[in-house]
Amino acid sequence: MTFKEQIQQGISNILPPLKAYDTSVSHAPKRKEILSRDEKKLALKNALRYFKAIHHKTLLPEFREELEKYGRIYMYRFRPDYEMFARSIDEYPGKSQQARAIQLMIQNNLDKAIAQHPHELITYGGNGAVFQNWAQYLLTMKYLSSMTDEQTLVMYSGHPIGLFPSHKNAPRMVVTNGMVIPNYSQPDDWEKFNALGVSQYGQMTAGSYMYIGPQGIVHGTTITVLNACRKIDDSGTTGKLFVTAGLGGMSGAQPKAGNIAGLISVTAEVNPSATFKRHEQGWVDEVILDLDELVNRVRRAKENKEVVSIAYNGNIVEVWEKFDQENIYIHLGSDQTSLHNPWSGGYYPVGLSLEEANIMMAEDPELFKIKVQESLRRHVAAINRHTEKGTYFFDYGNAFLLESARAGADILAENGVDFKYPSYVQDIMGPMCFDYGFGPFRWVCTSGKPEDLQKTDAIACEVLESIIAHSPKEIQQQMQDNITWIKGAQQHNLVVGSQARILYADAEGRIKIAKAFNDAIAKGNMGSIVLGRDHHDVSGTDSPFRETSNIYDGSRFTADMAIQNVIGDSFRGATWVSIHNGGGVGWGEAINGGFGMLLDGTLAAEQRLTSMLHWDVNNGIARRAWSRNQEAIFAIKRAMQEDPLLKVTLPNLVDENLLK
């Protein structure tokens, strides 16, 4: 069959042959044993319901073996034979251009060059899944290939519940991931519900089909470390050392960002497949396996004021301790291991090999938890010694501070409540970007043509340069950083997978860039464009230890903003919307929402983008202004001046002296 025919077929009535376990790709570790005997039976029944009864006898022992061996039923037999990558939108079958765009984005998320564990349908973060199993993938793609613009596909944690009649202005897809009752939102609840096949962890852009490879976080990390350096002093980045951990799907961006920012960076990673994958992709310059060699190399880099990224294939705790012993001064420190998922491969304890840790987490999870927490205490102790010497350490939104505190590490401030170290949102991204409305706007060229991406880069740069000419001084730095970024985007070879780009923009920038794209499409200058953003944005996510960590009115544990955001996006013109439990900080720790929007050059697309993008940003600014964030008050007042239909409740500020 042709590629289109395979998509349209969905789940074949004839069982495909069994597939050999492919060792050429990275696989998810075995998940912990958590189901009772009766629950295992239920998991098997849940899996078999995707298939005709005639096949149950054949599939039952196969699925039982997967459940016992991997802790999940992935249905490897049904993994497609065709190569998984984002094709040109015209290569996908369908009656709806919007639905074809979603097919493209789904396949991009599962591209082995992008996905962390592609055969387990996990894009990044150790457990950030697009689907729970391959049957869900096949069904979803079939639905998308047959739907019209008068239907909406409803997704329950990877499962396509079905196509429902709607209308052309409704979203073509509505996605929920992990929307469990709050009292059942602990890490073990995820393990149980996921093993049963009834819920999944969508991370942020994994389960919403908007991941664009590590480029997405390269830009955010570049902006973060640039501004972190500005907090230290005004001498620039030359010669400064940045030490961190993680080279996976999201964290793999760190060395590239370090290079773009002009730093010396050392990133530790315990998984050699991840380490060498990033090196082969050109995202890290050098790989070192020995600590003494690492010390010598960093000393040379400092002496020569090099711009270089170094991957250490080993445990980050060893690096912090060794650099302390050798008196290697670290200017910036952070961590991007997947500590939202500490007990299932998100963080590997010092003193165990990768293989030993994987065995222990599956066969003795309680001991593994003890080892992780011991390692976190050592990790923090080493960081504390460096910060006493002047290192600026910040949490990069991966629950490092939270899990370290839970482990009993010396991470709390003197009041015993707050952390010693700030979240990067508290110190950097919140007051400098989010409060002003700047966040990770992104787009994908559905033609797959590099020349289309070049055209969009040029358009975006032209728009930003026209805006900065009249921008207030409060946002001049943000504007210039993004103009510098987009001008250098091509030379940094950021594309992995789809022809995609990201930059930080406010509502004005997003709307004007999107309109310019839509005009170019209408003129036939390039193919259609999918707009999106990271959920990690101005109003997409309520996350008390990350995105909303600089909300100080007591509301940072509420999730009204994220829920209102996705509801508002859905009726203002989004092609698809998503809302998730979890994200980068862990199951039960955040609620986050996202969207996708197809630009096809029509007037209808222009109307949708104007309405939706304005809301998508200003919803968050309004909430941040109400919490008395001065930068957000400035931004929302400016927005109200520009659009008289916008009327936002502003806070009356209280004289602190009255409260003494």
* CB neighbour list of residue 88: distance below 8 Å, 6 or more residues apart: 446, 447, 448, 449, 527
Stretch 258-273: mean pLDDT: 94
Same domain? For 93 and 181 the reply is yes
pLDDT of residue 495: 87
- DSSP-H helix ranges across 348-414: 354-363, 365-387, 400-406
Is residue 417, in this structure, part of any structural domain at all?
A: no
* β pairing state of 591-599 and 541-542: antiparallel
Is residue 608, in this structure, part of any structural domain at all?
A: yes
* β pairing state of 392-393 and 529-533: unpaired
Same domain? For 191 and 284 the reply is no
Is 281 annotated in some ligand binding site?
no
Number of domains in the chain: 3
pLDDT of residue 569: 98
Stretch 556-574: mean pLDDT: 97
Is residue 134, in this structure, part of any structural domain at all?
A: yes
Given a cut of 70, whether residue 287 has pLDDT beyond it is yes
Q: Which of 378 and 495 is assigned the larger pLDDT? A: 378
Region at 520 (left for phi over 0; alpha for psi -120 to 50; beta for the rest): alpha
Is residue 209, in this structure, part of any structural domain at all?
A: no
Label residue 250 by pLDDT band (50, 70, 90).
low
Is 6 annotated in some ligand binding site?
no
Q: How many CB atoms lie within 10 A of CB 182?
A: 8
Query: Strands of 286-288's sheet, edge to edge?
Result: 286-288, 308-313, 264-269, 241-245, 332-333, 392-393
Tokens found for residue 124: 């990044």
Is 656 annotated in some ligand binding site?
no
Tokens found for residue 252: 């793999």
Same domain? For 133 and 277 the reply is no
Same domain? For 255 and 330 the reply is yes
Reported as a single tens digit per residue, the pLDDT across 156-213 is 999 999 999 999 999 999 999 999 999 999 889 999 999 999 999 999 999 999 999 8
pLDDT of residue 249: 65
Confirm if 201 and 190 have CB atoms less than 8 A apart: yes
Identify the domain containing residue 185 by its residue range: 3-196
Give the domain CATH number at 368.
Answer: 3.40.50.10730
Is 178 annotated in some ligand binding site?
no
Percentage of the chain with pLDDT > 70?
100
Query: What is the identity of the amino acid at 101?
Result: A
Confirm if 292 and 316 have CB atoms less than 8 A apart: no
Same domain? For 185 and 242 the reply is no
Same domain? For 588 and 627 the reply is yes
Tokens found for residue 526: 């390039």
Stretch 50-65: mean pLDDT: 98
Is 584 annotated in some ligand binding site?
yes
pLDDT of residue 585: 85
Same domain? For 108 and 238 the reply is no
Range with the poorest average pLDDT among 215-219, 475-479, 513-517, 634-638: 215-219
Given a cut of 90, whether residue 328 has pLDDT beyond it is yes
SS3 for 13? coil
Stretch 293-297: mean pLDDT: 98
Same domain? For 46 and 187 the reply is yes
pLDDT of residue 303: 97
Is residue 517, in this structure, part of any structural domain at all?
A: yes
Same domain? For 529 and 631 the reply is yes
Is residue 546, in this structure, part of any structural domain at all?
A: yes
Stretch 476-504: mean pLDDT: 90
Give the domain CATH number at 486.
Answer: 3.40.1770.10
Single out the residue in 164, 196, 228 at which a domain terminates: 196
Is residue 204, in this structure, part of any structural domain at all?
A: no
Is residue 422, in this structure, part of any structural domain at all?
A: no
Stretch 327-356: mean pLDDT: 93
Same domain? For 364 and 247 the reply is yes
| CA dist 189 → 159, 193, 517, 545 (Å) | 18, 6, 44, 21
Given a cut of 80, whether residue 252 has pLDDT beyond it is no
* CB neighbour list of residue 309: distance below 8 Å, 6 or more residues apart: 255, 256, 258, 259, 265, 267, 283, 284, 285, 286
- C-alpha torsion 506→510→513→516, nearest 10: -140
Single out the residue in 196, 231, 252 at which a domain terminates: 196
Same domain? For 530 and 556 the reply is yes
Reported as a single tens digit per residue, the pLDDT across 452-463 is 999 999 999 999
Single out the residue in 411, 443, 478 at which a domain terminates: 411
Q: Rounded to an integer, what distance in angstroms lies between the CA atom of residue 479 and that of residue 469?
A: 10
pLDDT of residue 635: 97
Same domain? For 399 and 254 the reply is yes
pLDDT of residue 291: 98
Is 269 annotated in some ligand binding site?
yes
Residues in the chain, how many? 660
Q: Rounded to an integer, what distance in angstroms lies between the CA atom of residue 111 and that of residue 122?
A: 10
The strand pairing partners of 598, in sequence order, are: 530
Stretch 310-328: mean pLDDT: 98
pLDDT of residue 397: 76
Q: Mean pLDDT of all residues in the chain?
A: 95
